[in-house]
């Protein structure tokens, strides 16, 4: 498993590439990183096309709870996730958990995701 996180403070952009098996601990590490780096308000482009989700139901409940807590933060940047088609429904559900006042969308095409992300207002 590899999750690479690049934070560009000047462009206010977080780029993530996930490959191989990705589980709850990996997602939590990503969330911790953007909090510590004060990048929650930045736009996020997450490319997970080559990732394989490894989770149990309890992991999803825990992750949804954490994302719901973030929904109360005023300044959160838009999230564009490029995913394998088999994960669209799951990731749409997780994006909904943190949705109020923060745009988020899943995509199958990276160019489309980038185009959409650039069009979103800064937080």
Predicted confidence (pLDDT) per residue in 90-106, tens digit = 888 777 765 666 788 99
Task: Please compute the mean of the pLDDT values over residues 23-47 and round it to a whole number.
Answer: 93
Closest by CA position to 42, among listed 6, 9, 85: 9
Average pLDDT over residues 68-78: 77
Per-residue pLDDT at 100: 61
Pairwise CA distance, residues 80 & 17, whole Å:
12
Q: Over the chain, what is the mean pLDDT?
A: 89
When pLDDT is averaged across residues 10-32 and rounded to a whole number, the result is 94
Q: What fold, for 2-119?
A: Transcription Regulator spoIIAA (3.30.750)
Residue 74 banded pLDDT, cuts 50, 70, 90? low
What is the three-state SS of the chain?
CEEEEEEECCCCEEEEEEEEEECHHHHHHHHHHHHHCCCCCCEEEEEEEEEEECCCHHHHHHHHHHHHHHCCCCCCCCEEEEECHHHHHHHHHHHHHCCCCCCEEEECCHHHHHHHHHHCCCC
The answer to whether residue 109 scores a pLDDT higher than 80 is: yes
Q: How confident is the model at residue 55 (pLDDT cuts 50, 70, 90)?
A: confident
CA dist 58 and 70 (Å) reads 19
What's phi and psi for 71, nearest 5 deg?
Answer: -60, -20
């Amino acid at each position: 498993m590899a999750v690479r996180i690049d934070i560009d403070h000047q462009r206010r952009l977080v780029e993530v590439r996930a490959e191989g098996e990705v589980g709850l601990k990996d997602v939590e590490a990503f969330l911790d990183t953007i909090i510590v780096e004060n990048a929650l308000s930045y736009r996020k482009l997450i490319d997970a096309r080559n990732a394989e989700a490894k989770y149990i139901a309890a992991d999803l409940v825990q992750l949804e709870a954490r994302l719901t807590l973030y929904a109360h933060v005023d300044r959160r940047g838009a999230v564009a996730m490029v995913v394998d088609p088999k994960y669209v429904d799951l990731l749409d559900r997780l994006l909904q958990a943190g949705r109020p006042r923060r745009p988020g969308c899943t995509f199958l095409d990276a160019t489309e995701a980038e185009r959409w992300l650039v069009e979103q207002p800064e937080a």
